[in-house]
Amino acid sequence: MLFIVRRLAALIVTLFITASVAFFLLEVIPGDPALDMLGTEAREDTLAALRTQLGLDTPLWLRFFHWLAGFVTGDLGMSFRYRVPVTELIWDPLFVTIPLGLLAIAITIVISLPLGALAARYRGKAPDVIVTLLTQLGLAIPNFWFAVLLILVFSIGLGWFASGGFPGWEAGPFDAFKALLLPAISLALPQAAIIARVTRSSVLEVLDQDFVRTARAKGLTRSSTLWKHVLRNAMVPVVTVMGTQFTFLLAGSIIVENVFYLPGLGRLIFQAITQRDLVVIKNVVVLIAALIMIINFLVDISYAIINPRLRQR
């Protein structure tokens, strides 16, 4: 329990630091949002009025805490560009990107763990060679290219999926899921390749340990030793890599959402950057950082589940 409280405290501190960095970094970027919104032809008093309206004339630290308070209470301010509350702007994309990420994580785990374990179990034999080849391919193929390939084969060729776009969750969970499947697969591919490799080497390492022989001496078959004794111990390094890899999912979603034309956070932040919509950028950046930290928090918790020795620390 203490373990969880400590990790939670660390999470909050890190989040605060990230928020500060995101805020002050965007503050020092040259450029005047008011000027940007009204154009260079705008009159000086109009600009001043808008700055007041946007709160840009108050001291920096006051704005920081104002924004932070807003962030915590769910008031993220107004988008400079669209003139709508940022909360509104990110609400729908959030329900595209998070399910997309979760689906990609699920696909990654379902593919990589059994493949890695299989390769280790049959080390040097055919399954190992095939898995190694597949992971090599998975690592070599850039996911935007793989995304295009998936569209070519499954959307244009076979016509099983739409080539892009998102019908919205109103269209029913099945259709929404269908729209997310190909993007999730292309996001999962490099992750699955990396994690399958880590799983393979980690399982091989654990297979060499004494307690595996003890389990076999008890009469367990090779397979049940693998599932009951080896995998759980092999998961510690795998979960570590998963923690860092899954943060790349969010970065990867910027590309994949653009290829599949999904209205997610990745596309939103991409558009916000091209349009200098600083309020949106800073909020989405902090939001993504928060998501990443939550993933890492869950990873830390799962360590304690896997490895009882960590529970007391």
Partner 1 sequence: MMQNTLSVQNLSVSLRTDSGYVPIVRDLSFDVRKGAALGIVGESGCGKSMTALAVMRLLPDSAQTSGSIMLEGNDLLQLSEGAMCAVRGARIGMVFQEPMTALNPAHTVGKQIAEGLRLHKGLSSRAAIEEAGNLMDLVGIPNAGARLSDFPHQFSGGQRQRVVIAMALACKPDLLVADEPTTALDVTVQLQILELLEKLIADMGMSLIVISHDLGVIGRLCDDVMVMYAGQAVEKGTVADVFDAPSHPYTRGLFGALPEAQEDIGARLYTIPGVVPSPFALPHGCKFADRCGYVVPACRDAEPPLSPGKLGQLARCIKVPEVVA
Q: Which residues bind partner 1 (CB under 8 A)?
A: 209-211, 213-221, 228-229, 232-233, 306-309
Q: Which is nearer to partner 1, 273 or 301 (by Cβ)? A: 301
Collect all residues with Cβ–Cβ distance below 8 Å to 273 and sequence separation of at least 6.
Answer: 281
Q: Which is nearer to partner 1, 81 or 229 (by Cβ)? A: 229
Q: Which is nearer to partner 1, 6 or 232 (by Cβ)? A: 232
Residue 228: CB minimum distance to partner 1, A: 8
Q: Which is nearer to partner 1, 6 or 125 (by Cβ)? A: 125
Q: Which is nearer to partner 1, 72 or 217 (by Cβ)? A: 217
Judge whether 132 and 124 are in contact, CB under 8 Å: no
Q: Which is nearer to partner 1, 70 or 127 (by Cβ)? A: 127
Q: Which is nearer to partner 1, 52 or 125 (by Cβ)? A: 125
Residue 212: CB minimum distance to partner 1, A: 8
Residue 8: CB minimum distance to partner 1, A: 24
Collect all residues with Cβ–Cβ distance below 8 Å to 250 and sequence separation of at least 6.
Answer: 97, 101, 265, 266, 288, 291, 292
Q: Which is nearer to partner 1, 44 or 208 (by Cβ)? A: 208
Residue 226: CB minimum distance to partner 1, A: 13
Residue 221: CB minimum distance to partner 1, A: 5
Residue 209: CB minimum distance to partner 1, A: 6
- What is the DSSP code string of the chain? -HHHHHHHHHHHHHHHHHHHHHHHHHHHSS--HHHHHH-TT--HHHHHHHHHHHTTTS-HHHHHHHHHHHHHHT---B-TTT-SBHHHHHHHHHHHHHHHHHHHHHHHHHHHHHHHHHHHHTTTSHHHHHHHHHHHHHHHS-HHHHHHHHIIIIIIIS--S-SS----GGG-HHHHHHHHHHHHHHHHHHHHHHHHHHHHHHHHHHHTSHHHHHHHHTT--HHHHIIIIIHHHHHHHHHHHHHHHHHHHHHHHHHHHHHTT--SHHHHHHHHHHTT-HHHHHHHHHHHHHHHHHHHHHHHHHHHHH-GGGGG-
Residue 253: CB minimum distance to partner 1, A: 34
- Please give the structure tokens belonging to residue 24: 């002050």
Residue 201: CB minimum distance to partner 1, A: 18
Residue 194: CB minimum distance to partner 1, A: 24
Name the amino acid, one letter, at 245: Q
C-alpha to C-alpha distance for 5 and 179, rounded to whole angstroms: 38
Q: Which is nearer to partner 1, 188 or 215 (by Cβ)? A: 215
